[in-house]
Structure 1
Amino acid sequence: MRKKNSMETKASEGHASRRLSSAQRRRQLLDTALSIVREEGADSLTLGHLAKRAGVSKPVVYDHFGTRSVLLIELYKSIDTQQSEALRTALASGTRSVKGTAKLLASTYIHCSATTDGDWQAVGAALAGSKEKDAVYQELLDGYVRLFALVLQPHAALPPEELERRCAALIGAGEALSTSMVRGTCSEAQAAETFAALILGSLRSTQR
């Protein structure tokens, strides 16, 4: 009787699983891929292993991603999207002083890195040397530069080009601090405090 119930349950789950839309299936596969990275490491993430963990056939995974590199790229972008959306949400409301803006910008950016628990860095490391990764990485960083410039513009009397250059430098510093935090060489609070100081320092001579 137990065996029958178990089989019925699996059949029911499989039937429900087949009803997933393409977008839902893709989200499920990316969530499962992230679980593999967290539990087993990025080196264990293959299309075959993902299919097994997700309970689908290999062709389903290949239809969505094609190659392991594409899967890693899409996972990399997915993790970043969650970070950037959290950052935009935190910055969306209210007007703040330059110090308040720097503090919120720094703390939110660093916290976003903390919540990934090194996932973004791990997937990035698995993509090391990939031309696709370099292009995507630069695209994502450029997005953060534009966001920082937009948020800091009211507090800086700088030409747009100079402000973007300074924001590019700040993003580089933020990434370095995030990496130090993930490695355990500093706490999240310490990384955020240092980052806020750097943001203020980049604007100090040009504040309105």
Structure 2
Amino acid sequence: MAERSIRQTTDGRSVAARLPKAERRHQLLDTALAIVREEGTDRLSLGHLAERAGVSKPVAYDHFGDRSGLLIALYRWIDTERMNTFRDGLVSRNPNAAEAISELASAYIDCAVDTSGDFHAVGAALAGSDEKAVVLQELQDQAVEMFVAILAPHSDLRPPELERRSIGLVGAGDALSMAVLRGTCSRADATQTFSSLIATCI
């Protein structure tokens, strides 16, 4: 079902712009991310989002329910988008095993230790939220799927075994990233160690 938003033409007339619901949600999330980048998470409210996106408040509330729902949706979307972009880009280039392992290890560690990014800014705004823990588990599951998709062309393991090993690799990547954030390991050393672990697991 298409949703209607009101926009002004150059001569001041109001016209209705209609978008399918999925496209409207994508537009709203894009706008929410722009607000976070330009004004900070404190300015991210459903009312301000509706104003910036050129839709009525009920449209924004229909998609996200409340501010917490908006933050959760944005948190999930940011990480899903970057994982999908990385996975699809890497797979499309058909790298050899060494290249795939190196790029996967580097990208995973880099994303996890980037505390200045949009993902961490939105995550900080969700501190203490019970829903955040649920979403983090969903995102961890997606990370496992990404590892399987990237590593499968370079592994002779049966799919269930590769999935189990990918679960372990995601855990190892998270632990190495935490060591970098604590200052007990350099980013370069963590990436090298993670690359070695991936190579021995597939």
* TM-score bin, normalised by smaller chain: 0.7 to 0.9
> Matched residues in 2 for 1:161 and 1:41: separation?
38
Give yes or no for contact 1:72–1:127 (8 Å, CA) kept in 2.
yes
> Matched residues in 2 for 1:207 and 1:27: separation?
37
Alignment partner of 1:92: what SS? helix
Alignment partner of 2:128: what SS? coil
- Alignment RMSD: 3.4
Give yes or no for contact 2:32–2:74 (8 Å, CA) kept in 1.
yes
Give a deviation string over 1:96-153, Cα, whole Å, max 9, x none: 13x3222111334456679995110111111121121111111111211232245346
* Superposition deviation, residue 157 in structure 1: 7.1
Q: Which amino acid letter does the alignment assign opposite residue 29 of structure 2?
A: L
- Equivalent positions of 1:16-95 (< 5 A) are 16=16, 18-93=17-92, 94-95=94-95
Q: If the length of structure 1 is used for normalisation, what is the TM-score?
A: 0.72
Q: If the length of structure 2 is used for normalisation, what is the TM-score?
A: 0.74
Flag the structure with more relative contact order, 1 or 2, with Cα contacts below 8 A and sequence separation at least 6: 1
Alignment correspondent of 2:15: 15
Query: Larger strand proportion, structure 1 or 2?
Result: 2
Query: Larger helix proportion, structure 1 or 2?
Result: 1
Q: Does 1:118 align with 2:117?
A: yes
Q: Which amino acid letter does the alignment assign opposite residue 134 of structure 1?
A: A
Q: Which stretches in structure 2 are left out of the alignment for 5+ residues?
A: 1-7
> Matched residues in 1 for 2:47 and 2:26: separation?
17
Alignment correspondent of 1:202: 197
Which deviates further from its counterpart, 32-41 or 165-174? 165-174
> Matched residues in 2 for 1:114 and 1:164: separation?
20
> Matched residues in 1 for 2:73 and 2:111: separation?
18
Q: Which amino acid letter does the alignment assign opposite residue 129 of structure 1?
A: G
**Percent identity, aligned pairs only?**
45
How many residues were matched structurally? 188
Q: Which stretches in structure 1 are left out of the alignment for 5+ residues?
A: 1-6
Q: 1:176 to 1:87 in 2, by over 3 A?
A: farther
* Superposition deviation, residue 164 in structure 1: 3.2
TM superposition outliers: structure 1 runs of 4+ over 3 Å: 107-117, 149-162, 173-177, 193-196
